[in-house]
Each structure stands twice: as C-alpha cells, then as structure tokens.
Chain A
Amino acid sequence: MNNVNSINITDLPWIIEYDSEKCMLCGKCCAVCSFNAIKVDVQKRKKVRAISNEEGFSIDSDQKAIPVIKQVVNETNFCRGCGMCTKVCPNGAIKAVRNNTESFGTRYRAKSAQSVKRGGRSNLHTEGRTLDKIKIGRISQMTDPSLDALRHTFDVRTNLGRVVPADKLKFEVVNGELKEIKNIQMPVNTSIYPIIISDMSIGALSPRMWEAIAIAVAYLNEVKGIPIRMCTGEGGIPEKLLRSKYLKYMILQIASGHFGWNRIINSMPYMQTNPAGILIKIGQGAKPGDGGLLMAEKNVRLIQEIRGVPKADLLSPPNHQGLYSIEESVQKMFLSMNCAFKFKVPVAVKVAASSTSVSVYNNLLRDPYNIVGGFFLDGLQGGTGAAHEISLNHTGHPITSKLRDCYLSAVKQGKQGQIPIFAGGGIGMNGNLAADTFKMICLGANGVFIGKLILQIAGCIGNDFGKCNACNTGKCPIGITTQNSKLTKRLDIDTVSQNIVNYICAADVELKKLLAPIGNSTLPIGRSDALICVDKNVANRLEIPYAC
C-alpha cells in the first residue's frame, strides 16, 4: 500500500477537470502545457447492463478502451493552473481548478527534502492592501480652482541623483546672474519620469521579453516624450545596446553576483552615451536577505555569454562580498561606480524594505561626498522570477509605512528630497498604476518602480492566488520568463512593446487626472495633506488625516 504515502491527485494545488464527452482528442492541450502536467492516456471503461428477456433478464457488459487526457501526479510535473489548456481547447473540455487543501507544500517537502521554490509574489494576503485604503481627498473646491486635465500643461517629472542643500550649491553671482563656479562639479542630477521599470534581468526574462521592454522604453522616450527609464537587472545587457545611444534610458544594475559587468566594463570605451544611472542592488523586497536565483534550466547559452558564466545554477550571494557597513558601501561601491562614470551618472542603491531602512537612509543622507544618488526601497509585495516560497510568503516589510518613515525621518532633519526615494513592491498590483504612484508620491516618494505589472501587461497569467507562479521553472507558458526557444516564440515582441507603451500612456493621462483636481501642475512629492485614509490605524501610522 505504498500509494497511500505518495503524492495523490488531491494534494496537487490545481486539479484538472476534464470532460471526455466534449473532448475531440485534438491534443492541443498537451502540446501547449509547458509543465507536462497532462498527458494522453487510455482509460478502460466497462458498462454492465441488465437486459430483460422471457426468462427474466440477462447480464451484458460493454468494455472499451478510450483515449483521455490525464493529469500527471508527481512533485515536478504538477499543474500550475496557468490555464493554457483551457485557452487552446476548442470545446471547453478541460480546465484547472484550484485545490484549497494546501497539502502540496507539505508533501513536497516530505518527499524531496527541498524547500519549495517558485516565482511570483506573496500568496498569503495577510495584511490587505494599504494603498487601497487611501484616497486623494483634498480636492480643489472654491478654495482654489481645479485644473483641467486635458487643457493645462503638466510637468510630470521627478529627479534621480543627489540633491545638495541650496546653500551648498556652487553658484556665484556675475552681473546679476547666477553662474556655476567653473571647475567645481556638483552632484549629477537628472530629470526623469516618476515611474521606473524595475530590474528584471535577461535570464530571469526571456531575451524577447526584455527586448520588448527596451523597445517600449525607447519608444516612450523618443516618440511619446515620456522620459521613462528601465533598470537592466543583474546580468548585463547586449553589447549592441551598450554601444548605442539608447543606453541613456538604461539604469545598469550591479548586484551581488556582479554578473554581466565584465562586458559592461569592456564596452565602456565604446559607449556613445552614459547610462541613465547605476543601481547597486543590495536586496529585493519579495525575498529580502536572499540573493538572485537563476536555475540552470534558464541559464542557456545566450545567458552564459552575456553573464560570462558556465551552465550551472546561478545563486547570487545574499550580500555584496566584502561589504560590511553602510559607510563602507558609500566609500567603496558608490565611489567606485561614480568614478567609473566620472561622477556624471547617478548611482543609487536598492534595498529591501526592512525595520532597518530608516537607519540606512539616515546614514546615507549623511554621506559627506554627495555621491548617493537615489534610494530604491522595495516592499514585500514585490515579485520575483525565482525564490524560496518561505521567503516570498513570510519575509519582508510592507512598503507604504516604510517609505513614509524614511521621508519623515528626512523631514525631521530638514533633508527631504536630498536623496530621492523610489518605492516599489506591489505598485500597480490592483492594476491601477497611476493611483498607486500618485499616493506614494504624496507620501514622500520621488517616484516608483514596477516589475510584475509589466509582466502582467505582457500577458503573464500568474496571479497572487497561486496561479502559475512558475517563473523559476523556465517553463513560462507565455514565453516571458523562460529561455526555451519554443516557449519564447509564443511571445510577440511588437505586441508586448505596444501594450507597454499603451499602458504607460494611459497611466500618464490618469496621473494628470489626479493632479488636476488637487490643483497641481507638478508632482506633489510629500504633499500628504492631499490624502485621506479610511482606516484610522493606517491614518495614524502614516500621519495623514483619517476620514470616514
């Protein structure tokens, strides 16, 4: 009776409901399933009939073997509920249904002695969504005129780079004009859109997906006049891009694995333009204290070439080796990255939101060299391509109060705005990026960064209720987070780029629809009096008015 101890179909997170009556055995569902979670099988069917006759009745039986679609039951090829089979079935004969018994994790661990890994973000939903409890409640009504979102001009811009206090600006007055004092370089500062596409590497993403984002970013800048930036993620970028003028829209990331930097450094003499920034990644909100994780399945030849690594699981260390303190990071990492680009590129840092974030931010604000150009704070509702489920579900810190704490801590010291804060981790999670962005800005963020939402725009069918969440497997059914050439071909680059462009354009309109009623033509960074909160505890915590 070994069977009673092995994984049973009722342990699986998703159970396939299949109607053989409707099935016409076209095989499309099996072909499309990238997880091999279903297979064609043969079932024995036997019908016993009683037939009445003069003597009473006789028994007859009808036996046949029929081909069916059958769910695979094991701990590797289990159904992720992606729904691709339903999508391709012409007759609606098959669908995956969520099994809420939640015993799979237990079975998996007991069987494999491995921790459960997956992609996506927290599926626990223990805390509710703070941003949805906040409204923009200070509307211009007679005190001052609302603006017209369609007719007024709005300057939807923020800045990346260190801001020195006004009395430290190196200006001199010459003939009644302020002039920059020659030969004294002030910290670099750039004007950008308040939404940054966050660091998702080529490797975590398929090259086609990454390229689609890069094309969309270039288009938004060059054609739509929206100065959005994207971060490359750890792992380098194609050499051709490094040497192109479009590098100016890219924020290059250096993370603990330093993947891809060999190629970046070798390309530096040939760069036509500086990158938009450098982002030193210390941590990630979805799996704080954990390094990057690229399974060998996804580390294909192209990725090996870009990163300069052999075929193996790529596990970035949880911390930058040789780094022991904040001051040291400023002296070593910030200074070296600043030097590399002659102090002309803002160098920012990305950390996972944590109880320690305010201390880190305070310490960076005291950076005497003015070389810390941005603070990217990533909350626990962020996503990831691959992580241990325990990290996704049980570690991390919500972003909203942490952002507010950091901002208010700077206010207390009169240093708000000196190191721009960008907040991420679940921004746009409910589908409305503009609303989330606007609220975070009012709470003190200079801008936000988004990752998961971009994947969703590209067609990711995963959700935060256990659907798909298989980015780590390299078997993404949409072709987004896979290196399998058959699967990546499912992704149409042009359509994805177009969708991203469209979404950002829509968000831009919506941002203006929020700016207009509060009477502002520029971003209300830190204007928390524009917000109200319908939850008293949240209102108290964030120091914004409670309303009911």
Chain B
Amino acid sequence: MCRIGSIKSNKYIHPSLTLKLMRSQQKGHDNSGFAIVMQDLGGIFENYKDLPILSMAVTDEGMKYAEDLLHKKGFVRVFQYNMEVNPDINLDIQPMPNYIFEVFQYPKNYKNASRNEKENLLLDCRLKLRKLLEENNEGYVYSFYEDIISLKEIGNPNDIGKYFNLRDESVNIKAKILTVQCRQNTNYDIVRYAAHPFFLQGYTTLTNGENTFFEKNKLIQQNLFKGYIGFESDSQCFLYTLHYMHKILKWPLKYYKHILTPLPYEEIQKRPDKNVLERIRTTLANFEINGPNTTIGVLPDGTMINVIDSKKLRPTVVAKGNYNENDMVIITSEVTGVNEILPNRDINNDIYTNERETIVVDNDLNIERIKQ
C-alpha cells in the first residue's frame, strides 16, 4: 500500500518534514519511489508567486527541447534552480541527469490574457513537451504551473532523500503545502509518471488503494479533457474527477464524494436532495470508484481535502498541531507519521475520516467534516 501524506502549514516549512512524516510509515519492501508536490512556495521561489514554474527530470537534450519549445512560445526564463545531488553508488535510486525547476515569464502577448487562457497555454506547453520528451526518451515533465514544484523519482525513499539533500534544511526551498508519497503504484509498471501526487492545473491528488473501476474511469475520462492523459496509474482518475467536477463543472466540493462513492439508492430516496443525487449517480456512473481507496487532494486555492471509499478499507488520520511554532494540519495514511511530527498534540482531536464524509482544511487550518 502506498503511504501518502500531506502537510498544510500556516508558515513555510521545509520538505525534510515529509521524510520525517513518511519514515515510520514505511513497511516491508515499500521501496519503489518517492514523489513530492510543493504548493504555495517560499524560500528561493517566494518572489515568483505569479509566474509559472516548470518542474522536470531530463537529459541535457531534454533541457534543450524545453528551452526551444518555451522560447518559441514567447516564454522568458527568469530563474532556474537545478537540484544539487549526492551521487553515491550505494544509493538505491535510478537518477536522471538533471532535476530542474525553471521560472518563466508569460509571453508578452499574454499580458492581458485571462486566467483561463494562461492556464490553457501552460497545459498545452506541458503536454507538448511531455510528448516530445517521451518520443525521444529524454525525460519527464511533471508540472508547469504557478507557485508549484514537483519532484518524482524511482528508488528507496530514504536514498532518494539523501540523493537530493532533502534533509538539509539549508537548502532554501520551502512551501506551505507539501504532498508526498512513498512507494509507487506497484500494481502497474513502476514508471515516474505513475507516482503520485498527480497534478493538473492547480489540483493535486494522492491516492492509495486499488481503484477497481479504473477501466470505467479511464474510458470516460480520456475523451473529456486534453489534460486527462497518461493513466499510468489507476490513482490518476481521482485527480481528473476532482478537476472535472470542480474546475469544469464548477460544482461545490462536497459533490466530489457523491461522485466517487454515491450513496446507496435506498438512502438517496430518503434525502430531500434526492433528485440531484440520483441524477449525479446516474450521469457520473463512470466516475464511481468502488474502492478501496483514500484520497488526499489540494485545490488551487490551497484547500486540502480527504475522502475515503465507502467500504472504509483504507485508513487515514487527520491531525492538527504545532511543530517548531508552525501550526499545521497533517493528513496521512498512518498515525505513526503524525506522532513523529506532532507528538504533543491532543490526540483526542485526531480525525479518522469515515466512509461518508469529506474532510476540508481551509487556509486558516480550520477542519470541516462534511457529511455526505
């Protein structure tokens, strides 16, 4: 089972915290990878809040592809950060030559462009670059969006941490929202794109478990939106459903749960909103997941959410506390991880998300439990 976790803090925190969160949750031979998405960035990226950042792991040739493509579109690079690495033959990692975060200025003709137009441009560029890199086997592009960086690698999470100096707090990369996963989705091929967190236009999700309706989800999603691609992992479907429901349909967040795990028919009949719920269940039947799963999600505005499947077979814990004078909420697979970071919290306030609720953590770290 993938160990997943997210930390939402009121101040910028260092990604080393994610390793601390994950270490005690590691079980058996869960050593196939590590991935992290950081949102609402501090440190060296703090001054570039409104600019898109390209996150990729590529060869030298791959770097050139990206540069050529984006320059041709009119993007101008304003900042570049290459991850410093510790090559060590004993580390269990399959590294790429370059790990790069590049900040760009939008093309001039996008100066007065709408938010949608800009997002569309970023997505188009990422998809084009991904295709180019894939075709030539020159690397991977994970995200191209404002105030977001992503890193994914195959190997032992501890070794990956060492390789990237992730424990070294002098590396000045910070964020207020960190989402992290150890162990890849090993039911399918172990490839970098199969590692969650998955990211699309400001939406991030991590999911563990087995989406038994993967095929149904995939077949409906692949035709819905150009960004719904890959499907290297059954967990990507959770991201696309969230994106579709929230960004495209513009439905309130609470309906995410109604789509993933609809109420049984008999229960719907007792509800005052039964017409709407019945219609959602029928119309979005191909988006149902039929678990067992846990999903942690982050929205573009920083809201963090958690839902689990209705058969309640994948646990998560939601905990609030203070770490080094940072208030934070952690959502993760097992409580041991939380205990590492927030040992002094009142554990009576921990929430073990139930099968019929959505946990919503707002930017003031208030936790709301929305009953389905």
- Residues in chain A within 8 A of chain B (CB atoms): 140, 143-145, 147, 152-153, 155, 157, 159, 163-167, 169, 171, 173, 176-180, 186, 189, 191, 411, 413-414, 416-417, 518-522, 524-529
Q: B248, B290, B311: which has the most chain A beta carbons within 10 Å?
A: B290
Measured between C-beta atoms, what is the minimum distance from A405 to chain B in Å? 15
CB distance from B357 to the nearest CB of A (A): 16
For the complex, what is the distance from the CA of A180 to the CA of B252, rounded to whole Å?
14
Residue B288 at the chain A interface, CB threshold 8 Å: yes
Q: A147-B311, A413-B223, A416-B219 are in contact. Are A159 and B282 (CB under 8 A)?
A: yes
Q: Which residues of B contact A145 (CB under 8 A)?
A: 292, 313
A173 touches B224 (CB 8 A): no
Contact B283 A169 (CB under 8 A): yes
Q: Are A163 and B283 in contact, with the CB atoms below 8 A?
A: yes
Determine if B276 and A526 form an interchain contact, defined as CB atoms under 8 angstroms apart: no
A527 interface neighbour in B213, B275, B283, Cβ under 8 Å: B213
Task: Establish whether residues B290 and A520, one from each chain, have CB atoms under 8 Å apart when the complex forms.
Answer: yes
Contact, CB under 8 Å: B216 / A527: yes
A528 partner residues in chain B, CB cutoff 8 A: 215
Within the complex, which residue of B212, B280, B283 is in contact with A165, where a contact is CB–CB below 8 Å? B283
- Interface status of B291 (Cβ within 8 A of chain A): yes
Partner of A526, one of B215, B250, B262: B215
Query: For the complex, what is the distance from the CA of A521 to the CA of B280, rounded to whole Å?
Result: 18
Q: How far is the CA of A167 from the CA of B244 in the complex (A)?
A: 10
Q: How far is B105's CA from A460's CA once the two chains are assembled, in angstroms?
A: 78
Q: B285 contacts the other chain (Cβ, under 8 Å)? A: yes
Give the CA-CA distance A411 to B282 in the complex, in Å. 16
Q: Which residues of chain B are within 8 angstroms of A144 by Cβ–Cβ distance?
A: 209-210, 212, 291-292, 313
Task: Given contacts A144-B209, A144-B210, A177-B276, list 5 more A-B pairs with CB under 8 A.
Answer: A140-B210, A171-B251, A176-B254, A416-B286, A524-B290
Residue B187 interfacial (CB < 8 Å): yes
> Which residue of the partner chain, among A165, A173, A191, contacts B251 with CB atoms under 8 Å?
A173
A165 contact set on B, CB distance < 8 A: 283
Q: Which chain B residues in 233-258 approach chain A with CB under 8 Å?
A: 244, 248-252, 254-255
Bound complex: CA of A189 vs CA of B284, how far in Å?
Answer: 13
Confirm or deny: B350 has a beta carbon within 8 angstroms of a beta carbon on chain A: no
* Closest beta carbon of chain B to A42's beta carbon, Å: 68
Q: Is B265 an interface residue (CB 8 A)?
A: yes
Task: Name 14 A/B residue pairs within 8 A (Cβ), A-sorted.
Answer: A143-B210, A152-B311, A166-B284, A169-B279, A171-B279, A173-B251, A177-B252, A178-B252, A519-B210, A519-B290, A519-B291, A519-B292, A520-B290, A527-B213
Cα separation A63 to B285 with both chains bound (whole Å): 81
- Tell me whether A176 and B252 are in contact (CB under 8 A): yes
A contact residues around B222 at 8 Å (CB): 414
Q: Is the CB of B212 within 8 A of A518?
A: yes
Cβ contact of A164, chosen from B210, B220, B283, B286, cutoff 8 A: B283
Query: Which residues in B have their C-beta under 8 angstroms from that of A178?
Result: 251-252, 255, 273, 276, 280
Q: A80 to B254: give the CA distance in the assembly, Å.
A: 64
Closest to A189 in B: B282
Say whether B278 faces chain A, with CB atoms less than 8 Å apart.
yes
Digitize B256-299: 1 where CB-to-A-CB distance is under 8 Å, 0 elsewhere: 00000010110000000101101110111110101110000000
Specify the chain B residue showing the minimal Cβ separation from A175.
B252
A143 touches B219 (CB 8 A): no
Which residues on B sit within 8 Å (CB–CB) of A522?
262, 288, 290
| B212 nearest CB neighbor, chain A only | A519
**Contact call A173/B210, Cβ cutoff below 8 A:** no
Contacts of B219 in A (CB 8 A): 411, 416, 526
Q: Nearest CB to that of B221 among chain A residues? A: A414
Interface centre among A166, A171, A416, A520 (most CB of B within 10 A): A166
Q: In this assembly, does B214 line the interface, its C-beta being within 8 Å of a C-beta of chain A?
A: yes
Shortest distance between the CB of A364 and any CB in chain B (Å): 18
Nearest B residue to A515 via CB reads B290
Output the least CB separation between A441 and chain B (Å): 11
**Chain B contact residues: over half helix, strand or loop, or mixed?**
loop
Task: Tell me which residues across on chain B come within 8 A of A169, comparing CB atoms.
Answer: 279, 283
Q: Which of B101-132 contact A (CB under 8 A)?
A: none
Interface string of B305-340 (1 = CB under 8 A from A): 000001101000000000000000000000000000
Nearest chain A residue, comparing its CB with the CB of B216: A526
B291 partner residues in chain A, CB cutoff 8 A:
144, 519
Determine if B213 and A155 form an interchain contact, defined as CB atoms under 8 angstroms apart: no
Q: With A519-B212, A525-B216 known to touch, is A417 a contact of B286 (CB < 8 Å)?
A: yes
- Contact assessment for B220 and A416 in the assembled complex, using a CB-CB cutoff below 8 Å: yes
Docked CA distance A529–B188 (Å): 14
Residue of A nearest to B314 (CB): A144
Most buried by B among A157, A163, A522: A522
B223 and A167 contact, CB distance less than 8 A: no
User: When chains A and B are docked, how far (Å) is the Cα of A177 from the Cα of B254?
Assistant: 9
Residue in A closest to B264 when the chains form the complex, CB atoms: A155
Query: Are B223 and A414 in contact, with the CB atoms below 8 A?
Result: yes
Q: In the complex, are the beta carbons of A529 and B214 less than 8 A apart? A: yes
- One digit per residue, 1 when the CB lies within 8 angstroms of any chain A CB and 0 when it does not, for chain B 75-96 equals 0000000000000000000000
Q: How far is the CB of A370 from chain B (nearest CB, A)?
A: 12
Partner of A143, one of B187, B244, B275, B279: B187
B contact residues around A189 at 8 Å (CB): 278-279, 282
Which of A152, A171, A417 has a CB less than 8 Å from the CB of B276?
A: A171
Q: In whole angstroms, how far apart are the Cα atoms of A29 and B275 in the complex?
A: 60
Nearest CB on A from B146, distance (A) = 26
In the assembled complex, which residues on chain A have CB atoms less than 8 Å from the CB atom of B213? 520, 524, 527
Complexed CA–CA distance, A544 and B311 (Å): 28
Least CB distance from A410 to B in Å reads 10
The residue of chain B having its C-beta at the shortest distance from the C-beta of A412 within the complex is B223
Of A155, A414, A519, which one neighbours B220 at CB under 8 angstroms? Answer: A414
- Which A residue sits closest to B275, measured CB to CB? A180
A171-B276, A519-B290 known; A525 and B311 CB under 8 Å? no
Chain B residues with CB under 8 Å of A163's CB are: 282-283, 285
A166→B282 contact, CB < 8 A: no
Complex-state Cα separation, A140 to B210, whole angstroms = 10
A469 to B347, CA, bound (A): 73
Q: State in angstroms the CA–CA spacing of A517 and B288 once bound together.
A: 18
Contact A191-B252, Cβ < 8 Å, known A147-B311, A164-B283, A526-B219: no
User: What's the nearest-Cβ distance from chain B to residue A180, in Å?
Assistant: 6
| B285 in contact with A417 (CB, 8 Å) | yes
Distance from A361 Cβ to chain B, minimum over Cβ atoms (Å): 16
B305 to A: closest C-beta gap in Å: 15
Q: What is the distance, in angstroms, from A524's C-beta to the closest C-beta of chain B?
A: 7
Determine the chain A residues whose CB is within 8 A of the CB of B282 once the complex forms: 159, 163, 189, 191
Distance to closest chain B CB from A141 (angstroms): 11
**B 173-220 contacts with A by CB, 8 A:** 187, 209-210, 212-216, 219-220
**A521 lies within 8 A of B265 (CB):** no
Closest A residue to B214 by beta carbon equals A529
Give min CB distance, A174 to chain B, whole Å: 10
**Alpha-carbon distance A173/B284, docked complex (angstroms):** 18
Q: Note all chain A residues with C-beta closer than 8 A to B283.
A: 163-166, 169
Closest-by-CB residue of A relative to B262 is A522
- Residues of chain A with a CB closer than 8 A to B313's CB: 144-145
Point out the residues of chain B lying under 8 angstroms from A417, CB to CB: 220, 285-286
Query: Which residues on the B side are within 8 Å of A414 (C-beta)?
Result: 220, 222-224
Nearest Cβ on chain A to B358's Cβ, whole angstroms:
13
Residues of A within 8 A of B250 (CB): 173
How long is the Cα–Cα vector from A176 to B279 in the complex, in angstroms?
17
Give the complex CA separation of A145 and B283 in angstroms: 27
Question: Mask for B220-231, Cβ within 8 A of A = 1, else 0?
Answer: 101110000000
Picked from B212, B278, B310, B311, the residue with its CB within 8 Å of the CB of A191 is B278
Closest CB of chain B to A18's CB: distance in Å? 58
Distance (whole angstroms) from the CB of B159 to the closest CB of chain A: 26
A529 CA to B290 CA, complexed, in Å: 14
Q: Which residues of B contact A526 (CB under 8 A)?
A: 215-216, 219, 286
Which residues of the partner chain B approach A166 to less than 8 Å between Cβ atoms?
Answer: 244, 249, 283-284
For chain B residues 139-191, which have a beta carbon within 8 Å of chain A?
Answer: 187
